[in-house]
Amino acid sequence: MSKKTWKISELAGFVNGEWHGEQDVLITGLVDLDNASEGQIAFVSDRKRLEELQKIEASALIVPEGCLDAPVPFIEVKDPVLAAAIIHNHFLEDDYVAGGIEPSVVIGEECLIAEDVTVGAFVAIGNRVNIGHRVTVGAGSVIGDDVVLGNDTVIHPNVTVLNRSVLGARVIVHSGTVIGSDGFGYAHDETGRHVKRPHVGFVQIDDDVELGANVCVDRATFGRTWIKRGTKIDNLVQVAHNVVIGEDSILVSQSGISGSTVLGNGVIMGGKSAISGHLVIGNRVTIAAKAGVASNQDDGKVIAGFPAIPHKKWLRAATALQKLPDLIKEVRELRKMIVTENVDENPDQD
Amino acid sequence: MSKKTWKISELAGFVNGEWHGEQDVLITGLVDLDNASEGQIAFVSDRKRLEELQKIEASALIVPEGCLDAPVPFIEVKDPVLAAAIIHNHFLEDDYVAGGIEPSVVIGEECLIAEDVTVGAFVAIGNRVNIGHRVTVGAGSVIGDDVVLGNDTVIHPNVTVLNRSVLGARVIVHSGTVIGSDGFGYAHDETGRHVKRPHVGFVQIDDDVELGANVCVDRATFGRTWIKRGTKIDNLVQVAHNVVIGEDSILVSQSGISGSTVLGNGVIMGGKSAISGHLVIGNRVTIAAKAGVASNQDDGKVIAGFPAIPHKKWLRAATALQKLPDLIKEVRELRKMIVTENVDENPDQD
Amino acid sequence: MSKKTWKISELAGFVNGEWHGEQDVLITGLVDLDNASEGQIAFVSDRKRLEELQKIEASALIVPEGCLDAPVPFIEVKDPVLAAAIIHNHFLEDDYVAGGIEPSVVIGEECLIAEDVTVGAFVAIGNRVNIGHRVTVGAGSVIGDDVVLGNDTVIHPNVTVLNRSVLGARVIVHSGTVIGSDGFGYAHDETGRHVKRPHVGFVQIDDDVELGANVCVDRATFGRTWIKRGTKIDNLVQVAHNVVIGEDSILVSQSGISGSTVLGNGVIMGGKSAISGHLVIGNRVTIAAKAGVASNQDDGKVIAGFPAIPHKKWLRAATALQKLPDLIKEVRELRKMIVTENVDENPDQD
């Protein structure tokens, strides 16, 4: 981490915020409220939280619009979390210092590797690999034949990027992730044995995508599995063969997408949610945690449950489920009441 | 990939199909319809799809029985996906060319390694390891002590095969997968602390099994965890200690099996499905996606939900759940109607 | 494994058990009933199982209290599984023999590594790393900068421990696991793009924690992600940024915890269960398999379903769900009966 210092007024400029209080206070870093100390700027996303604070260790604050007062100088912004992220990235931003290629690295033939890269120990790079400027490949990662890694991409340690995968610029891949393994595709013969379908396609990952740890992105059977610009994928997520994920989508941990399904832009998949194969999911569809999507979804749908239905409907149904045992009793009673009524005229019967 | 060329009549011979149209057309590869170009054979599994096609780029087609006409020469078969897989494998089949053992590889003592293997960079091989003919071990993989890898087995990069695991012939293990880690077994003392139960068993994986990426197969506490011939396991699947999986089973991504459960042959586990421990699941049981199986299952059962019940019953129940909020209202109304009736004779009451 | 031999009376002493039968019988190992052979002690947790046994291959048994007779000498204990684990660990216990640092290992600057460690091939160790006594790091693992590994900790092969992670004593980390990857945290700008929130926190893992294979433990955004003493985590589990897990908790395979959630001591998470972010889960809360917890939970709660409710309530509801389709029919009938009654006086109507 670099040592940078900005005046609060300069920080406000980064985020088009309005600053209040002493303008010359010097800030050396950004942190959250719980870990703040002198010289740092912290952020409060919730006005109420600010009012409850007994003591502020930070020297300045980022606060939501409408906060008129704070015990320290502050910057007023529409979205404090966004402003904090932007300012924090300014503090951490460094000129890239290329670490070079560690002596143990094994490199195949006909590779095109920029001079300003950082490649860690025990990285195995295949043939005809193309690595752009300022790329980092962590120790123990394996880069297969004909792979392309765009400028400023970061491959963390122990990642596996298999043959013919194409990664754009500023892609981040966390440890343990596997890109380009064979999809799960078999034909079945008359005796019930499974005949492997060769997977001759590839994986394409566009600019600014981030993949968490231990994620799996399978290569296509034919053609490509494709994750588009700006999509962020959490740990332990499964992306099957021939899936296409649009731009700026969010896949939370342990979610999974079956083969050949196409997601639009801005889709959100909650944790542990799943989508069946060969579906089309529209733009900005939001899938609740643990949902299972078994049908196509129009743009903007918010769905939950399995099979997934509109979220509000699911919420009512899930809540109602708790009342079901009592409902069953009640219906039994009602039946008795009705039957009893019908026989009331005959008092000899019970 | 090799460069091979066959006449359509020869290809038909590989799959016992009937060919129609010009017999001498030469085919250089197999591909799907979307990616087809001249000289290639494509396949259509669905007759309707064939009729809708505006233009066929392929020079030949594999079509389902009963397709009497096509704009290009075609092979008629019972199962076009199966025929395509078989023909595609013919095109890709190559004589194994042993790449030898990369100089960085570290090998323990008393190993028995066939001469015609391919072992990538930074592979660590333990003591007394036995590696068969035409085995490939990808870069960065770790092979523990006393491991056996049968002929033609492929270990992709960054795989971990731990001590005493025994893999048969033609096994395929994708990147990130761990075979032989300790099972999750503890005894619990009076104070609530967990005492590790040693795991001294092993993992046995029989011929023609394929394991996806980032799969976990734990070693047995005692005895063995056992995956039998021809079973195919998708990415991110959990196979706990002492599990036995029969032949030709299919475990879709993110499914999991708890300890000591025994699966029959031809079992299908849908994505994200789970089976509790110490159960017996019969042959050809089909478990729907996201199901949770908590009891033994007879041969051939098709189950869904949690706790899993017959699939059709679950489907009805899951659909009915959406109507539950309305049902609760309706029952409330009925009660009112009944109560109102009963009190009608006494108009003073509300 | 060492070759040790104890008299049954000595073994009984390890577990405060009462021994019966010939006291001088020499035992050379512990095993389960299915794999037992002469000279070994086996264990039976269930008295009924003992009665059903046709033949006992073991030379001695560990049995539950109240078993008055057995065909071989036996040790009577309260908890045979616990006693077996303790005795088994005695048999396997060995003086640590340091294997030293394999010549290929790459070590950064200013590291403090005890002399009696075992570090396998192709391990990359960063700068300022502190490794305690009798630590084992398996082949292919990557240890980042400023990492601390306490005494007797075992890192299995192909593990990734990223910068500034602090692991206590006797921690066990299985293969494929990633400790300290960035958490999944983004701010969102006005155009719907995701702005990465830097993750400058770290991961702390206390003494006697065990992490299974392919587990993910993300570093904190600020501060720390913290797993406390004695907690055991199964394969493929997700622990998000800033999560705190108390002591002696159990997280079964494929479970997951979202960001900033705090678990008490002795919490049990069943397989595939999930907890939302920013929640507080009390001590000794038990979460059933596949449950989804969306609200804070008091100490000792036993919960199931999604959203999770008391386990017994969920069990009734889940069972009732199967009856729902019939209930809907029944209510329809009741309505007919009521309506029919009401119109009975007018026989012209149907």
How high is the pLDDT of residue B349?
43
Chains in contact with C, where contact requires at least 3 CB pairs less than 8 Å apart: A, B
Q: Is the pLDDT of residue C335 over 60?
A: yes
Chains in contact with A, where contact requires at least 3 CB pairs less than 8 Å apart: B, C
Torsion of CA C339, C340, C345, C350, to 10 degrees: 120
More confident residue, B221 or C56: B221
Q: Which of B49, B214, B327, B334 best probes binding to A when mutated, by most A CB atoms within 10 angstroms?
A: B214
How high is the pLDDT of residue C347?
46
CA distance B148 to chain C (A): 18
Q: Is the pLDDT of residue A71 over 90?
A: no
Q: What residues of A are in contact with residue B35 (Cβ under 8 Å)?
A: 222-223
How high is the pLDDT of residue B70?
83
Q: Is the pLDDT of residue A15 over 50?
A: yes
A91: nearest CA in chain C?
C198
CA distance C164 to chain B (A): 24
More confident residue, C24 or C136: C136
Using CB atoms, which residue from A254, A290, A331 is nearest to C331?
Answer: A331
User: How do A186-188 and A194-196 pair as beta strands?
Assistant: antiparallel
Contact criterion met (CB below 8 Å) for B33 and B42? yes
pLDDT band at A223 (very low <50, low <70, confident <90, very high): very high
| pLDDT tens per residue across span B112-135 | 999 999 999 999 999 999 999 999
Q: A281: which 2 tokens?
A: 């999911």
Q: Is the pLDDT of residue B347 over 60?
A: no
Using CB atoms, which residue from C142, C189, C323 is nearest to A328?
Answer: C323
Closest C-alpha among A195, A187, A158 to residue A175: A158
| pLDDT (average), residues B62-68 | 88
Q: Is the pLDDT of residue C308 over 60?
A: yes
Q: What residues of B are in contact with residue C325 (Cβ under 8 Å)?
A: 316-317, 320
Percent of chain B with pLDDT over 90: 85
Say whether C212 and B106 touch across the interface (CB within 8 A): no
| pLDDT (average), residues B23-48 | 91
Q: Is the pLDDT of residue A328 over 70?
A: yes
ipTM (interface pTM)? 0.95
Q: C46: which 2 tokens?
A: 């269930």
Cα B317 to Cα C326: distance, rounded to the nearest angstrom: 9
Q: CA separation (Å) from B6 to A313, B9, B17, C262?
A: 57, 8, 15, 64
CA B280-B310-C253 angle, to 5 degrees, is 50
CA distance C247 to chain A (A): 23
Chains in contact with B, where contact requires at least 3 CB pairs less than 8 Å apart: A, C
A187-191, A276-280, C52-56, range with the lowest pLDDT:
C52-56
Q: What residues of A are in contact with residue C222 (Cβ under 8 Å)?
A: 31-32, 34-35
Residues 6+ apart with CB under 8 A from A215: A174, A176, A177, A178, A233, A234, A235, A236, A237, A238, A239
How high is the pLDDT of residue B113?
98
Q: Is the pLDDT of residue A23 over 90?
A: no
Say whether B323 and C328 touch across the interface (CB within 8 A): yes
Contact criterion met (CB below 8 Å) for A150 and A170? yes
Q: φ, ψ for residue A84 (rounded to 5)?
A: -65, -40
How high is the pLDDT of residue A78?
95
CA distance A264 to chain C (A): 13
Residues 6+ apart with CB under 8 A from C210: B196, C171, C172, C173, C174, C232, C233
Q: What is the mean pLDDT of chain C?
A: 94
Q: Is the pLDDT of residue A116 over 90?
A: yes
Active site residues of C: 241
Inform me whether the C-beta atom of residue C106 falls under 8 Å from chain B C-beta atoms: no
| pLDDT (average), residues A281-305 | 98
How high is the pLDDT of residue C214?
98
Q: Taking the CA atoms of chain B, what radius of gyration do you get in angstroms?
A: 28
Q: Which residue has the tokens 């071990």?
A: B137
Percent of chain B with pLDDT over 70: 96
How high is the pLDDT of residue C341?
65
Residue ranges of A 206-235 with Cβ closer than 8 A to chain C? 210, 212-214, 230, 232, 234-235
B291: nearest CA in chain A?
A306
Pairs across A and C, CB distance < 8 A: 187
Say whether C196 and A1 touch across the interface (CB within 8 A): no
Q: Which of A199, A200, A202 best probes binding to B when mutated, by most B CB atoms within 10 angstroms?
A: A200
| pLDDT tens per residue across span B301-328 | 999 999 999 999 999 999 999 999 999 9
CA distance A27 to chain B (A): 43
Rounded to two decimals, the pTM is 0.95
Q: Is the pLDDT of residue C12 over 50?
A: yes
Active site residues of A: 241
Contact criterion met (CB below 8 Å) for C349 and C336? no
Catalytic annotation, pick one of B156, B174, B199, B241 = B241
| pLDDT (average), residues C168-186 | 98
| pLDDT (average), residues A119-143 | 98
| pLDDT tens per residue across span A167-219 | 999 999 999 999 999 999 999 999 999 999 999 999 999 999 999 999 999 99
Inform me whether the C-beta atom of residue C96 falls under 8 Å from chain A C-beta atoms: no
Q: Is the pLDDT of residue A345 over 70?
A: no
Q: Is the pLDDT of residue B47 over 90?
A: no
| pLDDT tens per residue across span B197-231 | 999 999 999 999 999 999 999 999 999 999 999 99
Using CB atoms, which residue from A121, A230, A342 is nearest to C124?
Answer: A121
Q: Which residue has the tokens 């050809």?
A: B284
| pLDDT (average), residues C313-333 | 95
Say whether B156 and A158 touch across the interface (CB within 8 A): no
Q: Which residue has the tokens 């009012």?
A: A51
Inform me whether the C-beta atom of residue B277 falls under 8 Å from chain C C-beta atoms: no
Q: Is the pLDDT of residue C23 over 80?
A: no
Pairs across A and B, CB distance < 8 A: 188
Q: Is the pLDDT of residue B196 over 80?
A: yes
How high is the pLDDT of residue C342?
63
More confident residue, A217 or C350: A217
How high is the pLDDT of residue B264?
98
Residue ranges of B 41-80 with Cβ closer than 8 A to chain C? none
| pLDDT (average), residues B15-20 | 93
Q: Is the pLDDT of residue C312 over 90?
A: yes
Say whether B157 and A144 touch across the interface (CB within 8 A): yes
| pLDDT tens per residue across span A300-327 | 999 999 999 999 999 999 999 999 999 9
How high is the pLDDT of residue A340?
74
User: In the beta sheet, which residues pair with residue A211?
Assistant: A173, A233
CA distance B93 to chain C (A): 32
Q: Which of B207, B272, B330 best probes binding to A when mutated, by most A CB atoms within 10 angstroms?
A: B272
How high is the pLDDT of residue B342?
62
- SS3 category, C116: coil
Segment of A67-71, B67-71, C172-176 carrying the highest mean pLDDT? C172-176
